[in-house]
Amino acid sequence: MIALEFVAGNLFIIYTVVLHILSPGTFMDILTSFCNIWAVAGIFLIWLSVYRLKHGYSFWSRIQKKWKRVILIFTGVCGLIALVNLIFILTPRILNLEELACEAGETEIESEFSDGHQVYVFLLGGGIDKNGKLPKPVMLRVRKTAEYMKLNEDAFCVVTGGTLKWLPYPEAPELKRQLVKLGISEDRIFVEDQALDTIQNLQKGTEVLKSALGLTTREVLDSPVVLVSSRYHLRRSQRLAHRMGFENVTGVGCRTPVFHLPMAYLREICAYVKLNLRILLTGKPVKL
């Protein structure tokens, strides 16, 4: 047991360090990053192993029975809540681009999804490092967006992502630059570089479309909208979009590198629980 706790604790700490190496941030960005939760868990496990080695018994055995019961109930409830939210996270509405490209072609995309209406694509930001470069999971979103934009050549795209706290660069301009490098015309891409979260991605992205194309809020909300993001993030994005009044929303899901999956889903579960609490307590977000 000592060895298991010690090894697991070190693995958690190593996982945290590698995540920071893959997406380097400023000192304060690293210090306040959500992924440090793995390091905290790792330090706790190492402390448990040291405690067991020093005293010859586990820390758990010192806890009073009534408190053990409280801890077990609390852990069980949290686990159940996490599981329920994970089930929702795993069930987004997704456009299968590979299937559409192979079986249908461009006209089928337009007839089945857009029904002849103008389609607007929201490329949702996922972070940028201190050097102004997009991490691999975000580049996968960019490539998938380019793939859709080439299948539907009439679609317009909003790239959305601002300057996160402690980082020096906004994300959206780099998203556009990468899309252009992949062959998407600049005049089909609109930049929204102020949003700091998914709600603002949709709010501010809508304002950009209205300003650039002379649309009303109602026209944007009634149009077919494609959200492009990592698959784990799509369900929450779509739920937010529906609450904000978007009538015809689907998504293009991007894979997440295997190494990033534990971090991605842990963070998304927490974000989905936070969203549910926000809706329950404040009723927000509301329709645009």
Report pLDDT digits (tens) over 210-221: 999 999 999 999
Provide the phi-psi class of 77: left if phi over 0, else alpha when psi is between -120 and 50, else beta. alpha
Report pLDDT digits (tens) over 77-115: 999 999 999 999 999 988 877 666 665 554 445 545 566
One-letter-per-residue 3-state SS of the chain:
CHHHHHHHHHHHHHHHHHHHHHCCCCHHHHHHCCCHHHHHHHHHHHHHHHHHHHHCCCCHHHCCHHHHHHHHHHHHHHHHHHHHHHHHHCCCCECCHHHHHHHCCHHHHHHHHHCCCCCEEEEECCCCCCCCCCCHHHHHHHHHHHHHHHHCCCCEEEEECCCCCCCCCCCHHHHHHHHHHCCCCHHHEEEECCCCCHHHHHHHHHHHHHHHHCCCHHHHHHCEEEEEEEHHHHHHHHHHHHHCCCCEEEEEEECCCHHHHHHHHHHHHHHHHHHHHHHHHHCCCCCC
pLDDT at 147 > cutoff 90: yes
pLDDT at 73: 97
**Cα radius of gyration rounded to whole Å, the chain:** 22
| pLDDT average, residue stretch 127-142 | 96
pLDDT at 165: 86
Alpha-carbon distance of 1 to 48, in angstroms, equals: 10
147 alpha carbon, distance to own chain's centre: 20
Q: How confident is the model at residue 68 (pLDDT cuts 50, 70, 90)?
A: very high
Mean pLDDT for the chain overall: 92
pLDDT at 14: 98
Angle formed at CA 179 by CA 177 and CA 181, multiple of 5 degrees = 70
Name residue, tokens 């959200």. Answer: 227
Name residue, tokens 């529906």. Answer: 242
Task: Give percent above pLDDT 90 in the chain.
Answer: 85
| pLDDT average, residue stretch 196-205 | 96
pLDDT at 109: 57
Who's near 71: CB < 8 A, 6+ residues apart?
Answer: 63
Q: How confident is the model at residue 2 (pLDDT cuts 50, 70, 90)?
A: confident
Provide the phi-psi class of 116: left if phi over 0, else alpha when psi is between -120 and 50, else beta. left
Report pLDDT digits (tens) over 267-284: 999 999 999 999 999 999
pLDDT at 95: 81
Contacts 24+ apart (CB under 8 A), 260-263: 260/19, 260/22, 260/136, 260/137, 262/15, 262/38, 263/15, 263/19, 263/35, 263/38
For the whole model, what pTM was predicted? Answer: 0.92
